[in-house]
Amino acid sequence: MAETEVVVGANRLELLQIADAVAREKAIDPEIVVEAMEEAIQRAARSRYGAENEIRAEIDRKSGDIKLYRLLEVVEQVENGATQLPLPEAQGRNPDARVGDLLSEALPPIDFGRIAAQTAKQVIVQKVRDTERARQYEEYKDRVAEIVNGIVKRVEYGNVMVDLGRAEAVIRRDEVLPRESMRQGDRVRAYIYDVREEARGPQIFLSRTHPQFMAKLFAQEVPEIYDGIIEIKAVARDPGSRAKIAVLSNDASVDPVGACVGMRGSRVQAVVNELQGEKIDIIQWSPDPVSFLVNALAPAEAVKVVVDEDAHKFEVVVPDDQLSLAIGRRGQNVRLASQLTGWEIDILTEQEESERRQEELRERSQMFMDALVIDEMMAQLLATEGFTTVEDIAFVEIDELAGLEGFDEDLAAALQDRAQDYLAARDEEYDARRREGGVSDELAAIDGLTPGMLVILGENAIKELDDFAELSVDELISPEDGLLREFVLAEDDASAMIMAARAHWFDDEPEAPEAAVAGEEPAAEGEGAPSDA
């Protein structure tokens, strides 16, 4: 701020001219600059007349004249001669003076020495800088999520300082596209993702890697997005390399993908050029998660999709020759599809899925052979028909079991008897293990907790009602690390069990007094109420 260097040595009119010039340069109110000058003169005057004095400076807004005076408080008894004046003396100067009034005493103008001039300059510079930063914050705090244009001012350790004209912003090095080189004087376009006040002043943070930067670029290039005919529903980016964007048309006559691509790819190419050649897949959004996933995995084709809604997970089977295409280079395609859909995605080939299915069939068949003491052919038939556990066979309708090929009611009944005997023996064994593990009978009495669950809880030091009551539903059934994740347990059932375990916490609470009959006042003494006498 070169103008402030001559403030302290300027004549009266120059003072106002300098204030006006600084205000225009920094886009702030000239009054603020004049007030900064007054504060600087006050500080210099205190160093001349003594810091204990209450000194005020005024600059006439028209002539530039500087008035300097000292404030004195009218008091009965003086305790500080620098800031106080006894009442008799005050009334000698002004007959209307009263205790508590402030009287001003004119001071002669001062000549600024080198140190005082430097101090005054620092005060003015700091005041103007603080005001300028406050203006920048007010101007940009409501512009988050906008795209702005600027000129690279300097590059410091990979961080790019950008001149926005009326403010300065920063693109941190992790928000710059990979392999993108910026030099001083380059024009740059970026997305405002944050504006916040920090100790060093308001900071405006820009990004060229943010997913919404690409979305805003499309909004600038595609009029249908700006008009609301096409919506951008989701964006996923691997900055500088590849991106996926899901779009939806609110007008059946408008193809959202074609509109974003543009004539001969002109619209999407403009965005690609801005993003340094980043490849962009434009995808039709669908409210059906499976259809959306199939679109998101393009160019790979899905043969089969298995949805696990509880775990928010897709299992996708692709042809054997498309595995690398579906996964993408370094997992890029499946990672972007996962980000776009918000679901976890597992990719399997048809051969892998077939081998896994055969292994699951073999394991279930072996379980039925061991538990029900039947031959392999019958066990495979049960497994093929969709029975997965011994409980399925023990409690299924007898007619359903008897309707299987080669089965009759007698065989079905015999199998059910064996299944129920097996479960009873297993539960008895679990109960013995539960007791050995120290799991209390009170916990075992909770409705819905099976002997097998109780064994697992005991192995994880959950042995008393209070231990179980302190668990959350997620700790119980979370697919990743829930204690009872291997059991088929609904969230509502888990919640009911925990609440049942907590019920004894409220048994000892005092009961609320019985409510008085509505409209009935308590009887006053002498009106039927028993007295202390």
Report how far apart the first and last C-alpha atoms of the chain are (Å, whole number). Answer: 91
pLDDT of residue 533: 31
Question: Does 478 map to a domain?
Answer: yes
Which of the residue ranges 23-27, 288-292, 296-300, 519-523 would you say has the lowest mean pLDDT?
519-523
Residue 523 has pLDDT above 50, yes or no: no
β-strand partners of 247? 232, 284
CATH code, domain with 496: 1.10.150
441 exposed, middle or buried (CB, 10 Å; 0-12, 13-18, 19+)?
exposed
Please, which pLDDT band fits residue 21 given cuts at 50, 70 and 90? confident
Phi-psi region of 274 (alpha: psi -120 to 50; beta: other; left: phi over 0): alpha
Q: What is the DSSP string of 353-399?
A: HHHHHHHHHHHHHHHHHHHHT--HHHHHHHHHTT--SHHHHHHS-HH
In whole angstroms, what is the distance from residue 125 CA to residue 7 CA? 11
Please, which pLDDT band fits residue 11 given cuts at 50, 70 and 90? low
CATH code, domain with 185: 2.40.50.140
Nearest to 28 by CA among 114, 127, 99: 127
Q: Are 125 and 162 contained in the same domain?
A: no
Q: Are 117 and 173 contained in the same domain?
A: no
pLDDT of residue 12: 58
Q: What is the pLDDT of residues 284-339, one digit of tens each?
A: 999 999 999 999 998 899 999 999 887 789 999 999 999 999 999 889 999 999 99
Task: Kindly give, in sequence order, each residue whose CB lies less than 8 Å from that of residue 490, ignoring residues fewer than 6 positions away.
Answer: none
Q: Are 45 and 95 contained in the same domain?
A: yes
Q: Are 50 and 171 contained in the same domain?
A: no
Do the beta carbons of residue 459 and residue 437 sit within 8 Å?
yes
Q: Are 182 and 79 contained in the same domain?
A: no
Mean of all residue pLDDT scores within the chain:
83
CATH code, domain with 29: 3.30.1480.10
Question: Does 183 map to a domain?
Answer: yes
480 exposed, middle or buried (CB, 10 Å; 0-12, 13-18, 19+)?
exposed
Question: Does 186 map to a domain?
Answer: yes
pLDDT of residue 229: 95
Q: What is the pLDDT of residues 368-422, one digit of tens each?
A: 899 888 888 988 988 888 888 888 888 888 888 888 888 888 888 899 899 999 9
Question: Does 371 map to a domain?
Answer: no
Q: Are 69 and 193 contained in the same domain?
A: no
In whole angstroms, what is the distance from residue 30 CA to residue 26 CA? 10
Percent of the chain with pLDDT over 70: 87
Question: Does 426 map to a domain?
Answer: no
pLDDT of residue 401: 85
Q: Which helix (H) or strand (E) holds 161?
A: strand 159-163
Nearest to 123 by CA among 32, 61, 191: 32
Peptide bond into 299 cis (omega under 30): yes
Domain boundary among 80, 103, 134: 134
Please, which pLDDT band fits residue 10 given cuts at 50, 70 and 90? very low
Q: Are 200 and 160 contained in the same domain?
A: yes
pLDDT of residue 267: 95
Please, which pLDDT band fits residue 170 given cuts at 50, 70 and 90? very high
Residue 432 has pLDDT above 60, yes or no: yes
Tokens of 121: 């300059």
Count of structural domains, the chain? 3
Which of the residue ranges 21-35, 53-67, 339-353, 510-524 would you say has the lowest mean pLDDT?
510-524
User: By residue range, what is the domain housing residue 32?
Assistant: 2-134
In whole angstroms, what is the distance from residue 274 CA to residue 240 CA? 10
Q: Are 39 and 127 contained in the same domain?
A: yes
Question: Does 492 map to a domain?
Answer: yes
Domain boundary among 174, 207, 240: 207
Nearest to 395 by CA among 366, 420, 425, 369: 420
Domain boundary among 183, 207, 231: 207
Question: Does 169 map to a domain?
Answer: yes
Residue 123 has pLDDT above 50, yes or no: yes
Do the beta carbons of residue 29 and residue 43 sit within 8 Å?
no
Residue 340 has pLDDT above 90, yes or no: yes
Nearest to 180 by CA among 275, 272, 285, 286: 275
In whole angstroms, what is the distance from residue 145 CA to residue 191 CA? 6
Q: What is the DSSP string of 344-359?
A: EEEEEEHHHHHHHHHH
Q: Are 160 and 122 contained in the same domain?
A: no
Question: Does 463 map to a domain?
Answer: yes
Higher-confidence position of 389 and 211: 211
β-strand partners of 71? 104
